[in-house]
Amino acid sequence: MYVVYKAQRAAVFVGPVINGKLDSSVSPFRLGIVIAIVTLLFDQGTKRYLLDVFGLAERSPVTVTSWFDLVLVWNRGISYGLFQQDHWLGPVIFVAIAIGAAVFCTFWLKRAENRILAIGLGLLIGGALGNAIDRALYGAVVDFVALHYRGFSWYVFNVADVAIVAAVAVLLYDSLKSRPNLAEKSE
């Protein structure tokens, strides 16, 4: 039995499912690449839908709930809008950094020995490439999720940003999990 998605090729790429779980014979590299591709497609798909189909530019802001709005923000900086760049060279540098990070993480992924590390690297690669594509196309990253509660509002973000933050959490978990226990070392 294989994982079944709408695209049959994706099912074959991911690999067989045994008793409801992904077959462990799927290599960490393959798992990470699949996660990177799915992350990238989901990120770019949501952005294209909101810009081209939903018309967020004309409708922004759109209240979804009392604590969640869809807004259109063109982020010309890096995380949380830091280091805003209005010069044409800014996006070029940020795209180069993102592609370099994705290439580095892909080499790291090739050497990954466990699935947790592969998941984190896949999320990081997909998120970095998703934001790099925005910078290459628009000179800025498309952000659209605005969360707020009782006067407190968080920075506006997108799917790629969520993937990058999740990747950092997964990579931290993996680094702490794989460290030898210090108590055992002292004995």
> Annotated catalytic residue: which of 43, 69, 134, 143?
143
Is 69 among the residues known to form the active site?
no
> Annotated catalytic residue: which of 43, 69, 134, 161?
161
Residue 157 identity:
F
| Bridge pairing between strands 17-18 and 152-153 | unpaired
Say how many CA atoms lie within 13 Å of 52 toward its Cβ: 6
**CA angle at residue 120 from 117 to 124, to 5 degrees?**
135
Residue that is written with structure tokens 């498309």 in the block: 142
Contact 39, 111 (CB under 8 A): no
In the chain, % helix, strand, coil (3-state, to 5) comes to 60, 15, 25
List the catalytic residues. 143, 161
